[in-house]
Chains A and B, each alone.
Chain A
Amino acid sequence: MTEITTLLQIFIWGLTAGCIYVLMAVGLNMIFGVMKVVNFAHGEIMMLGAFSSFGLYYYTGLNPYFLMLFSMVIIGVFGVMIERFGFRKVLGTGKLNEIFLSLGLIYILQNAAVKLWTDDIRKINSPYSSMALDLGVLNITYDRIIAIAFTALILISLYLFLTKTDVGRALRATSQNHEAAMLMGVNVNHMYMLSFGIGAALAASAGTVHAILSPFNPYMGTIPGIMAFTVIIIGGLGSIPGAIIAGLMLGLVQNFTIFYFGGAWKEAVAFVLLIIVLVIKPTGIFGEEH
């Protein structure tokens, strides 16, 4: 009989892993909702976020959680550039071209990162790394608590931004109906850039959280990228609540799988979950017909 504390510990690990997926998947879904584009290079943007936070941390030595905000801005601007000079050019020329463009970006970003920073394993040392919340039966490191709290904070501010501000409303209008939004005076091209920027910034925060919790190198983004895609399919393409629930669910399922069956099955179980969902409901749990 497994002890309840072990199970709780795995639950916490699953939750933090899920938070990284949620941050990635919500960003992907923002981009998909507005532009109807899935960015396959999202994992690579996450990796760049980790490196940008690492670089800032390396040169300033400040608190990485504070630096993460700057990193989000840097990578957000980078995301806007990718949209403006990449995806914008192929929008409407067929979905396959958008897929192939993001494949090219994976090659470019990943290998440029290896070229610039080598593939050595690095880690961002959080000032709280040795501290943990002692609950008597189990210890939760502060870094994991911060990761969970931070994700919640981001989601709440994103929600407020989308519902309470004019720009947020314009974004939602664009995602519901391009033509109508355009007729109402929304600059759709700006919305595209904005959604890509927000998506990239969220990926950068996911990358930083990942880099604080575990070591990383330029190849770190590939698997979380794929898992984020799996999450948005399971949750329903374009549905943000779906991404949150599916993201946390996948994090938990994977960590319990690692515990019971071993690490190699962590990706396989995600795929099994994906197949089950697609067979039962091809549009995902919260998805609508597109």
Chain B
Amino acid sequence: MTVRELVGKYAVSLYTAYLLLVIIGLALPLLITDDFFNRIIILTFFYIMFSTSWNLLAYSGQASLGHAAFLGIGGFASTILIINGVTPVLGVLTGALAASLVGLFLGIICVRLKEWFLGLVTFGFAIIMAAVVNELSVFIEAINGVLIAVGLSGSMDPHMFGGSLGIYSPDIVSRAQYYYLFFFAMVGTILASHLVIRSKIGFAFAAIRENQAEAAMMGVDITRYKLIAFMISTFMAGFAGALFAPYNYFINPEIFSIHNSFMPIIMTISGGIGTIGGPVIGALVINLLWEQMGLWGMSIDRLLILGLILVLEILFLPRGLMPLIKKITEKIAGTTSRDMPL
């Protein structure tokens, strides 16, 4: 047995790669010395969670064009609860649950709908959520007032770990705490997505996506699994929003914007739709690119570039970066296409 075979068989199995990434992730705060960079990493983790959530729904053949709705519901619900004195952990989970319940409601409406109809309804739903929340703007301003006050004084404490942790606080401990909070949330989300996709539920999702009639004939309960997909996915999206809004100290109806609905789509497609690693790679690449373009002073241009990236990908790279990465790992490992758990 040559070294190459050995490496191929054991060392570079993807689980080892995952483990390696987790170790790098755990060690990263030691290297982060400035708040801006820390914030960008946290934002990337947030987008990985959000994209993973969108990807899971798409995995069942249902592409949401208004996923920002669930992000916003999670965010608003947790923010309102936390500033009213609910324990942060409970607030975040309730926020995610609220998003999931709304997701179930929307899922029930959408369950009989095919691609276009589903896309239209979800797209409209996010817009309508924004309009409704805008109507309650006085209320929202009050929330932001409290949030900002809290952020400045640090007297009332909407934090997960307790202590006085402003975002731009130079305190290295708070920086690491936020980092780990989002890091573990992200790992949990990816793990959950992995477990779902590899389980019986995941097979049902794939069957429905590939051919609904055949899936039904094989005894897959279409309605049930479509609703399960909606509930898990919107729970994840709500969770991401519920975690991010208190961290951000700011939330307004802009969270329901079309841009927020499209970001996970662009990210997932860039990485590779329908794979577990796709949304991770895509969110990483697109978010870093996005932030870098921001640093270069682009505002309208970067939106334009995002649109061009999406169109070019659909035309020339519809499966995203994932097949490329797969090829490279296979080359290193020296094995041919096994069913890698990507």
A226 at interface by CB-CB < 8 Å: yes
Say whether A270 contacts B119, CB under 8 Å.
Answer: no
Say whether A226 contacts B127, CB under 8 Å.
Answer: yes
| A127 surroundings in chain B (CB, below 8 A) | none
Say whether B314 contacts A90, CB under 8 Å.
Answer: yes
Report Cα–Cα, A102/B119, bound state, in Å: 12
Report Cα–Cα, A271/B123, bound state, in Å: 11
Say whether B311 contacts A271, CB under 8 Å.
Answer: no
Q: For the complex, would chain B's binding face be called helix, strand, loop or mixed by DSSP majority?
A: helix
| A100 surroundings in chain B (CB, below 8 A) | 265, 269, 310, 314
B307 at interface by CB-CB < 8 Å: yes
Say whether A268 contacts B115, CB under 8 Å.
Answer: no
| A111 surroundings in chain B (CB, below 8 A) | 300-301, 303-304, 307
Measured CB to CB, the nearest residue on chain A to B128 is A271
Say whether B311 contacts A266, CB under 8 Å.
Answer: no
| B216 surroundings in chain A (CB, below 8 A) | none
Nearest-Cβ distance from residue B273 to partner chain A, whole angstroms: 8
A237 at interface by CB-CB < 8 Å: yes
Given A96-B58, A99-B115, A265-B131, the answer on whether A115 and B300 have CB atoms closer than 8 Å is: yes
Nearest-Cβ distance from residue A226 to partner chain B, whole angstroms: 5
Q: Quick one: which of B110-132 are within 8 Å of A by CB?
A: 112-117, 119-121, 123-125, 127-128, 131-132
Chain B 292-312 interface mask (CB, 8 Å, partner A; 1/0): 000000001101101111110
Give the number of chain A interface residues (Cβ < 8 Å).
44
Report Cα–Cα, A274/B110, bound state, in Å: 11
Measured CB to CB, the nearest residue on chain B to A278 is B109
A38 at interface by CB-CB < 8 Å: yes
Measured CB to CB, the nearest residue on chain A to B62 is A96
| A112 surroundings in chain B (CB, below 8 A) | 304
Nearest-Cβ distance from residue B294 to partner chain A, whole angstroms: 15
B315 at interface by CB-CB < 8 Å: yes
Report Cα–Cα, A274/B121, bound state, in Å: 8
Q: Quick one: which of A94-114 are within 8 Å of B by CB?
A: 95-97, 99-101, 103-108, 110-112, 114
B63 at interface by CB-CB < 8 Å: yes
Chain A 223-241 interface mask (CB, 8 Å, partner B; 1/0): 1001001100100010000
| B121 surroundings in chain A (CB, below 8 A) | 233, 274, 278
Say whether B127 contacts A275, CB under 8 Å.
Answer: no
Say whether B131 contacts A230, CB under 8 Å.
Answer: no
B135 at interface by CB-CB < 8 Å: yes
Report Cα–Cα, A282/B120, bound state, in Å: 13
Say whether B120 contacts A229, CB under 8 Å.
Answer: yes
Nearest-Cβ distance from residue A276 to partner chain B, whole angstroms: 10
Nearest-Cβ distance from residue B336 to partner chain A, whole angstroms: 26
Report Cα–Cα, A158/B99, bound state, in Å: 45
B165 at interface by CB-CB < 8 Å: no
Say whether A265 contacts B119, CB under 8 Å.
Answer: no
A57 at interface by CB-CB < 8 Å: no
Report Cα–Cα, A195/B96, bound state, in Å: 44
| B301 surroundings in chain A (CB, below 8 A) | 111, 115
Q: Quick one: which of B170-187 are within 8 Å of A by CB?
A: none
Report Cα–Cα, A119/B131, bound state, in Å: 21
| A265 surroundings in chain B (CB, below 8 A) | 131-132, 135
| A95 surroundings in chain B (CB, below 8 A) | 114-116
Say whether B135 contacts A233, CB under 8 Å.
Answer: no
| A99 surroundings in chain B (CB, below 8 A) | 63, 65, 115-116, 119
Interfacial residues, chain B to chain A (CB-CB below 8 A)? 58, 63, 65, 109, 112-117, 119-121, 123-125, 127-128, 131-132, 134-135, 258, 262, 265, 269, 273, 300-301, 303-304, 306-311, 314-315, 318
Beyond the given A103-B262, A278-B109, A282-B112, please list 19 additional residue pairs across the A-B interface where CB-CB is below 8 A.
Answer: A38-B119, A93-B318, A96-B63, A99-B119, A108-B304, A108-B311, A115-B301, A222-B258, A230-B120, A233-B117, A265-B131, A265-B132, A265-B135, A266-B131, A267-B128, A271-B128, A274-B121, A274-B124, A278-B117
The 4 closest A-B pairs by CB, nearest first: A107-B307, A104-B310, A104-B311, A108-B307
A-B contact pairs, 28 of them (CB 8 A): A38-B119, A90-B318, A95-B115, A96-B63, A97-B314, A99-B119, A100-B314, A101-B314, A103-B265, A105-B311, A107-B307, A110-B303, A115-B300, A226-B123, A226-B124, A230-B120, A233-B117, A233-B120, A233-B121, A237-B117, A264-B131, A264-B135, A266-B131, A267-B127, A274-B124, A275-B109, A278-B117, A279-B109
